[in-house]
Structure 1
Amino acid sequence: MKAFGETLKQIRNSRNITQQQLADNNLLNRSTISKIEHSTEEPAYEIAVRLIRTLGITPDEFSYIRNNYQLNAHDKIIYDILNIAYSTETNKIDKIIEQGTSLSSNPIITRLIPILKGFKAANTNNLGLAKKLILPVWNDYLSKIETWTILDLCIINLIFFVFDEETMACISEQAIQTIENNYQFLKSLESSFLLNQAILYMERQDFNSAITSLNRALPLIEHSFRYDKLFLAKGRLAICNNNKKEALYCLNVLKEMGAINVQQALREEITKFNNQF
C-alpha cells in the first residue's frame, strides 16, 4: 500500500489541482500540503478526510486507489457479502466463507461466517442447522444494535427466513424504517426486504399480506431499474392473484433476460403454489 501523501499527490495531479488550491480549500499552508505529500508530516484524521473530499472522492475510494486499485482482504469480503443477490449463488458463498476463515481474528468477519454457513444450509433445506448457526449471532449481536448500518441491513436481509412471522414482520418494518430514515438511496435493498416479506406471507397462505408487500416493492424496484426483481415481483403477484398465464409470462421474460437464478426461484414458486391456479 502506498503512503497517504504519495496517493494524495497522485490524485491531486490527475485532477489538475494545485497544492495551493488544495491548501486554500482546507485553510492550510501550501508548505503543509508539500510536507504531507512527501510523508514528512502526517495529517490528523479530520484534515485527511477534508483533503480527500476536496479531491472529489470518498475516503473508501481513496483507500482503494492507495491499495493500487484493489480491495484489502477485509473489504473484499464485505463487498462480496453486500453483493450476494440470491441464495443459489453457492459458489460465491463458499468462496467468501473460505476467505473469511483466514481472517478469523477479525470480530466482524467472525460474526459473518456462521451467518453465511446458515444461509447456505437453508438453501439445502436444512432450516434446523441454519437457525442453529444464525440465531446466536442475532441474539448476541445484531438484535442489540441500536441503529443498523448498511452491512447490518444486508445481513439481516439474508437471515430473514429463520424468524417466525411475528418477529419477521417487526424486523422487516424496523429495517425498512432504518433505510427510509438513514439510507434513502438503498431502494433496491428496501425492495428486497419487501420481496422477502412477500414470499414468507405466501408460505403461510396469507396472500393478501403478500400482495400488499409486493405492491409496496414495485415502485422501489422500478426506481432501481432491476428488471430481474421486477418480473420476480410481478410473477409473485400473479401467483397471489391466481393468474397462471401472467406468472408463466414473467417466467419466460426472466429466461429471455438470462436471469437464471431468479427464473429458477420463480419456477419453483409456481410449482409450489400450483394450487393457487
Structure 2
Amino acid sequence: MKAIGKTIRQIRLIKSMKQKDFSEVSQAGIANIESSRKNITLDKLISILDDFGMSLREFEYIRNDYKLSPTDNLFLDFTNVKNSVDRVQGKKLLTQLSSHLEEYPTDFIAYCLYIVEDVILKITAQNSYNIESPEAFEIWSILYGRSAWTYQEVYIMSKLFFVFPVELGTSMIDRIEREMANYVDFLKDIHFDATFYTNVGKYYTHQNQFMLGKKYLNQALPLCEKYDRVIIENDVYAYLAIIDYLEGNMEAEAEVLDCVNRFHAMRKPDLAEDLESDWNTFFKEKVLN
C-alpha cells in the first residue's frame, strides 16, 4: 500500500490540481505531506478529501493500487452470495475465508464471516435453524460490550441473530436496529434494511411470534417497493401468507404456492425450492387451533 502523501499527490495530479488549491491546507503543508516530511492528521486528510470530492473509502482503494483490501474483498463476496440457496458458492467462500484466516488469524471480520457462512451452510444442509454454534455466542459477547459497531459488524450480526433463542434474538434485533440507523444510507446499495426486516419477520414467524413477524414484514414491504426489490418482496408476501395460514386461514396456502410459482416465473428456481422446502418442512402441518 502506497504512502498517504504519495497517494494524495497521485490524486491531485489526476484532478489537475495545484498544491495551492486546497481550502484548509497551505501549499507548503501539502508539499510536506506529499513528500512525507510531515505526518498528516485525520482532520487534514478529511479536508483534503473534501477538496478532492472523494470518500475515505475510495482514497484507500486508490492507495491500495485500485484494489480492495483482502477483508473488504471477502466482505463483498459474502454480500453477493445468496446464502440460503447457493451452497456451492457458500462452500467456495468458506474455503477462501479459511485460507485468509490462516494468513491473517487476527482478522476479526473475516472470522465472523467464516462463522456466519458456516452456520448458514449447516442450516441449509440440516434444514433446521436449531444449530449449535458456540462461536456465534462468542461473537455476540464481544460485540455486545462495544459502545458502537462498524458497518461490517452490523451486517454480520444481521445474518447471525436467527440461530439464537427468541429472548436473546430479540435483544440482538433491538441492538442491530439501533446500530443500523447509523448505516442505512451507507449500506443502501445492498438494500440492507429491506433484507434485515424481512429476515427478522421470517425469524419471528419460525418462533411463532406472529404479531412481531407481521410487524417486521410490513416494515420491509415499502422498502422493497422503494428499491424495486421484487424478489425480497415476494418472500415477504410468502411469509405474510404463511402467518395467515398458521393463524387458521387455510386458503392462505394458495398464496404461499403462488409465491413459489412467482419465483419460478422470475427464473429463480433455487429461491422457489428454498421457499417450498421451508413451507413443507416447517409450516404446512403446523396449524394452530
* Structure-2-length-normalised TM-score: 0.80
The aligned residue for residue 14 of structure 1 is 14
Residues in 1 aligned to 2:8 and 2:110: alpha-carbon distance in whole angstroms? 30
Cα deviation, residue 20, structure 1: 1.8
1:65-108 C-alpha deviation (Å, 9 max, x unpaired): 11121112233233334445523342333323332332113344
Task: Name the aligned partner's letter for residue 146 of structure 2.
Answer: I
The aligned residue for residue 68 of structure 1 is 65
- How many residue pairs get aligned? The number is 272
Residues in 1 aligned to 2:36 and 2:261: alpha-carbon distance in whole angstroms? 59
Task: Name the aligned partner's letter for residue 31 of structure 2.
Answer: S
Cα deviation, residue 201, structure 1: 2.6
The aligned residue for residue 228 of structure 2 is 225
Task: Name the aligned partner's letter for residue 246 of structure 1.
Answer: E
Distance 1:234 1:121, change over 3 A: same
Residues in 2 aligned to 1:86 and 1:157: alpha-carbon distance in whole angstroms? 13
Residues 1:172 and 2:173 are matched in the alignment: yes
Once the two structures are superposed, the pairs formed by residues 248-263 of structure 1 within 5 Å of their partners are 248-263=257-272
Distance 1:261 1:77, change over 3 A: same
Distance 1:117 1:173, change over 3 A: same
**Identity fraction in percent:** 24
Cα deviation, residue 11, structure 1: 1.9
Residues 1:274 and 2:284 are matched in the alignment: yes
Task: Name the aligned partner's letter for residue 150 of structure 1.
Answer: Y
Task: Name the aligned partner's letter for residue 194 of structure 1.
Answer: Y
The aligned residue for residue 144 of structure 1 is 145
The aligned residue for residue 246 of structure 1 is 255
| Structure 1 alignment gaps of length 5 or more | none
Residues in 1 aligned to 2:201 and 2:41: alpha-carbon distance in whole angstroms? 48
Residues in 2 aligned to 1:179 and 1:105: alpha-carbon distance in whole angstroms? 25
* Structure-1-length-normalised TM-score: 0.83
1:226-249 C-alpha deviation (Å, 9 max, x unpaired): 222111111222222342333333
The aligned residue for residue 58 of structure 1 is 55
Task: Name the aligned partner's letter for residue 280 of structure 2.
Answer: T
Residues in 2 aligned to 1:263 and 1:98: alpha-carbon distance in whole angstroms? 33
Distance 1:81 1:245, change over 3 A: same
Residues 1:133 and 2:135 are matched in the alignment: yes
Distance 1:44 1:177, change over 3 A: closer
Cα deviation, residue 56, structure 1: 0.9
The aligned residue for residue 155 of structure 2 is 154
The aligned residue for residue 36 of structure 1 is 33
Residues in 1 aligned to 2:103 and 2:285: alpha-carbon distance in whole angstroms? 47
Task: Name the aligned partner's letter for residue 99 of structure 2.
Answer: E
Residues in 2 aligned to 1:263 and 1:40: alpha-carbon distance in whole angstroms? 60
SS in 2 for 1:176: helix
Distance 1:16 1:83, change over 3 A: same
Task: Name the aligned partner's letter for residue 270 of structure 1.
Answer: W
Residues in 2 aligned to 1:107 and 1:269: alpha-carbon distance in whole angstroms? 32
1:22-73 C-alpha deviation (Å, 9 max, x unpaired): 2xx11x3223323433444442333123212321111111111111211122
- Which of 181, 184, 201 is 1:198 aligned to? 201
Residues 1:46 and 2:46 are matched in the alignment: no
1:232, 1:250 within 8 Å by CA — same for their partners in 2? yes
Cα deviation, residue 129, structure 1: 5.8
Residues in 2 aligned to 1:229 and 1:101: alpha-carbon distance in whole angstroms? 35
Residues 1:77 and 2:68 are matched in the alignment: no
SS in 2 for 1:241: helix
Distance 1:225 1:98, change over 3 A: farther
Residues 1:88 and 2:85 are matched in the alignment: yes
Cα deviation, residue 154, structure 1: 1.3
Residues in 1 aligned to 2:203 and 2:69: alpha-carbon distance in whole angstroms? 37
Distance 1:276 1:137, change over 3 A: closer
1:6, 1:37 within 8 Å by CA — same for their partners in 2? yes
